[in-house]
Amino acid sequence: MSDRMKTISSAKSHGGVQGVYSHASDTCSCDMTFAVFVPPQAREKPCPVVWYLSGLTCTHANVMDKGEYRRMAAELGLIVVCPDTSPRGADVPDEKDNWQFGCGAGFYVDATQAPYATNYRMYSYVTEELPALIAREFPADMTRQAIFGHSMGGHGALTIALKNPERFKSCSAFAPIVQPSTAGWSRPALEKYLGADEGSWRGYDATLLIEDGHRFSELFVDQGTSDGFLKDGLRPWLLEAGCAKAGIPLTLRMQDGYDHSYFFISTFMDDHLRWHAHRLSDPTVGTGPR
């Protein structure tokens, strides 16, 4: 392995390996930590890559510890990459009393405003620097990539897929923030990262990207009906309306009684991994729902 990447931990799971790694990020100007599950099939050939982006207050560890993805990823032969949600470190600017901004709340944007522009470059980190590292260090088939995420990470997955449709073969989300430019818990963060000109926010808003002509082949979203953030922060009906107008196929499942937690995510994780595996599949990879 590269001397720029360090192994923090490594454990066998479902015949594969769950690892946690760190590296010095040029993009974020600090050390970054991420998790990778490599399935047993990777001993024989490169495997497709599924990116999972986590939500506010999370790190790579939340889905790794509570997402329950390894059994199905091992069955389907999927590498699962879980980046952190923001830069971290003593020199990284933060608002420690604000869970909706700063460390743990990078919103997958490239900040343009001081003092955040030096470190908060999560869009470039997730789309450029970390994929290059994964391609170099792991048995990954980078011609077959998918992306999904939860909440803020669902927002990240949707916007990244819409701006990079040639790279990702599939995109899904759990309870995504579909229009962060008008949601109360994300507007202040976008203004601090990107400035007061709301025109610069459009590139990080899934509904506005669709309005501006960005397209993706199809989208899959699960949303709990008992999610406390549903009406004010998430509002999947806005994505539904935008996709309908643009002709983007959207499977939106409103899951009765489920909330915003990892109890919800872990319940439907297998469905999402099968969805991605089917769209990433070749004749030797497991199939999933069409």
Dump strand ranges (E) for 113-249: 140-150, 168-174, 219-224
- What is the residue-level pLDDT of the chain in tens, covering all 290 positions? 345 899 999 999 999 999 999 999 999 999 999 999 999 999 999 999 999 999 999 999 999 999 999 999 999 999 999 999 999 999 999 999 999 999 999 999 999 999 999 999 999 999 999 999 999 999 999 999 999 999 999 999 999 999 999 999 999 999 999 999 999 989 999 999 999 999 999 999 999 999 999 999 999 999 999 999 999 999 999 999 999 999 999 999 999 999 999 999 999 999 999 999 999 985 443 333 44
Catalytic position from the list 181, 186, 227, 272:
227
Catalytic position from the list 23, 60, 214, 260:
260
Give the chain's domains with CATH numbers: 6-280 (3.40.50.1820)
* Residue 237, Cβ density class (10 Å: 0-12 exposed, 13-18 middle, ≥19 buried): middle
227 is catalytic: yes
186 is catalytic: no
Question: Tokens representing 46?
Answer: 């490169």
pTM above 0.85, yes or no: yes
Tell me the β-bridge partners of 185: none
Catalytic position from the list 54, 86, 151, 181:
151
23 is catalytic: no
**CB count in 10 Å sphere of residue 132:** 10
